[in-house]
Structure 1
Amino acid sequence: MERLWPGATEDIGKRRHNVIGYSSNLLGVPMELLVHRDFNDYPMPLHISGVREMNPNLFEMLARSSDLPDAGEAFTCYMMAMFGIDREQREDAAGQGTGAIRRRYRSSFLRLIKGWGYDSNGPEGAVLKGWVESRFGIFPTFHKEIIQRISSGAWTTYVEEKMSSRFHSNSIYTQLDLLFEFCQWALERLVAPGRTHLTLYRGINAFDEHQVVERIDKRTALMRLNNLSSFTFDRDIAECFGDTILTVQVPVSKVAFFNTLLSTHPLKGEGEYLVIGGEYRVTASYF
């Protein structure tokens, strides 16, 4: 345990990693506060500007829902109607020169979540991290490898993948905005009413993806999480992903998606939560 945190015997100042920076956000919360440990200790509600105001019909439907499955069905129906991403509303296009019918599936938030479940450092993961960067103003610290500066090859790879035309049709960021607002509505009304934090777990084998900012004691540290990270509510599941278990008190307002939000999606078996990053107090232990 003496060496649980990387560089435990080094001067703390030398352990600080480069921070790429922060951009503006659509939340109306100063960036310095949003990513700071104090926000995560004492959080406030977060809402993406204009999303609820521009979609009053959705939230009127949700208000009439009796439980989470009912609300999830209402949300799914709304998304299908708004973005035409179900099978009946696929776009058909004639192939140039051949006249053959080519079916083009519209980009959807479900496809991104599925891709994240397979590999959070794949192209779908880059798009999701790009959405966090766009809406929350938090840059990723890891995508396939540590991102230390904007001029690096790691940053270039991330930008190329996050801008992939495969995923940027059909207002994909708007879809993700609605998913976040629905998630926050469900947590506030049905899943965790009155709660400010959730206890979540993450299993890791190395500390590469998340930067240790300060070692508080042998088990506790201040860690800068990637701008979007996966956690689980079940410690036993976390043990399947690494021999070191991170335990974090995550603000409810920083949960972008959770495993029971929708009745059908590929992350259900792992009890997964997608969490917006920043500086978190983290407790580490061996399983």
Structure 2
Amino acid sequence: MGDEHDPAGWYTTNLVGIPAPVLASAGFNAHPQPLHVAGVRESHAGLFALLQRCTDAAEARGVFAHYMSLAFGLQRRAAGSDDAAEPRRWRASYLKLLQGWGLDANGAAGAVLKGWVESRFGIVPVFHRAVLARFPSPAWTTYLEEKAGSRFHNNNIFQQLDLLYEFSQWMLARFQPLGAEPRVTLWRGSTRCEEQVLAGSLRGRQCTVRLNNLVSFSLAREQAGCFGDWLLQAEVPQVKLLLWPGLLASATLQGESEVLAVGGCYEVLARYD
């Protein structure tokens, strides 16, 4: 960890092979390197072998959805089947988790997603319902309780998210839906920018901000402008993208052209609308 008195500077070990302080830096965003969660593709070699046979994105989406349904028991039981009569324990699903994020990024689903980023990428969140300042605090207690809560944190949910991330990276490399460049221009609307600035100034338009460890952007500037007075434009590495419109067969989060990306420090262009 970093400064013990400043949780915003804390980092943990990770599973992607690049030190978390480097991964969270604006320098990494300027010169991104490939990222993979250790062991995921090897452990699910059958899935990625099937994906390699796919000729288009729609076929790949179907293969991924079917595999996740079978691997984690997410399929619905047919009415009248023996399984349907059995008592069912709530099974956490990556789709339900993403839907929860879409409803409230600071709810229980958001805590689990932030906990996954913390575990896999080593970047500690800086906000959950409130600023995660000095530890311990009520804000930290709420975050820690919610990220481990059984409502969403069961059924190997981190492993589901590992596969979602690796599928995202496979799709980006194979079909290049967001272009061939290593970074993509995204926008974020915000009303809490001043406290996030690390260098430069919002009024000067160019600045470096510290965003949460998982953050929502938009592909469309017009859509992003609906979420705050300040509009931030960032060049986001594709290797940091967990979800983007068109990745999944589900319509989850597509209404606002929403993109979920690993956060940290970003150099942005700021505009006040």
Settle same-fold status: TM greater than 0.5: yes
Q: Is the 8 A contact 2:189 2:231 kept in 1?
A: yes
The match for 1:104 is: 89
Q: Distance in 1 between matches of 2:66 and 2:53?
A: 14
1:57-97: CA deviation from partner (whole Å, max 9, x where unpaired):
11111111122111111100010110011212899699xxx
Q: Unaligned 5+ residue runs, structure 1?
A: 1-16, 95-100
Q: Describe the SS at the equivalent of 1:250.
A: strand
Q: How far is 1:183 from its partner? A: 0.3
Q: Distance in 1 between matches of 2:211 and 2:82?
A: 39
The match for 1:121 is: 106
1:224-256: CA deviation from partner (whole Å, max 9, x where unpaired):
110000001001111111121110100000011
Q: Is the 8 A contact 2:244 2:257 kept in 1?
A: yes
The match for 2:153 is: 168
Identity %: 47
Which of 39, 44, 51 is 1:50 aligned to? 39
Q: Is the 8 A contact 1:20 1:148 kept in 2?
A: no
Give the AA of the match of 1:152. Answer: S
Q: Describe the SS at the equivalent of 1:262.
A: coil
Does residue 1:222 correspond to 2:208, yes or no?
yes
Q: Distance in 1 between matches of 2:105 and 2:116?
A: 14
Distance 1:180 1:141, change over 3 A: same
Does residue 1:35 correspond to 2:24, yes or no?
yes
Q: Describe the SS at the equivalent of 1:198.
A: strand
Q: Is the 8 A contact 1:35 1:278 kept in 2?
A: yes
Q: How far is 1:149 from its partner? A: 2.7
Q: Is the 8 A contact 1:91 1:103 kept in 2?
A: no
The match for 1:144 is: 129
The match for 1:244 is: 230
Q: Is the 8 A contact 1:202 1:232 kept in 2?
A: yes
Q: Distance in 2 between matches of 1:218 and 1:74?
A: 47
The match for 1:200 is: 186
Which of 172, 180, 185 is 1:187 aligned to? 172
Q: Distance in 2 between matches of 1:280 and 1:273?
A: 15
The match for 2:3 is: none
Give the AA of the match of 2:224. Answer: A
Distance 1:247 1:21, change over 3 A: same
Q: Distance in 2 between matches of 1:164 and 1:224?
A: 27
Q: Distance in 2 between matches of 1:58 and 1:27?
A: 20
1:192-211: CA deviation from partner (whole Å, max 9, x where unpaired):
46321010011112227x62
After superposing the two structures, state which structure 1 stretch, 190-199 or 245-254, moved more. 190-199
TM-score under structure 1 normalisation?
0.87
Q: Distance in 2 between matches of 1:206 and 1:19?
A: 16
Give the AA of the match of 1:240. Answer: C
The match for 1:71 is: 60
After superposing the two structures, state which structure 1 stretch, 132-141 or 58-67, moved more. 58-67
The match for 1:5 is: none
Q: Distance in 1 between matches of 2:254 and 2:160?
A: 20
Q: Describe the SS at the equivalent of 1:84.
A: coil
The match for 2:239 is: 253
Q: Distance in 2 between matches of 1:207 and 1:145?
A: 14
The match for 1:274 is: 260
Distance 1:218 1:135, change over 3 A: same
Does residue 1:232 correspond to 2:218, yes or no?
yes
Q: Describe the SS at the equivalent of 1:45.
A: coil
Does residue 1:264 correspond to 2:250, yes or no?
yes
Q: Distance in 2 between matches of 1:249 and 1:39?
A: 11
Q: Distance in 2 between matches of 1:55 and 1:102?
A: 29
Q: Is the 8 A contact 1:91 1:106 kept in 2?
A: no
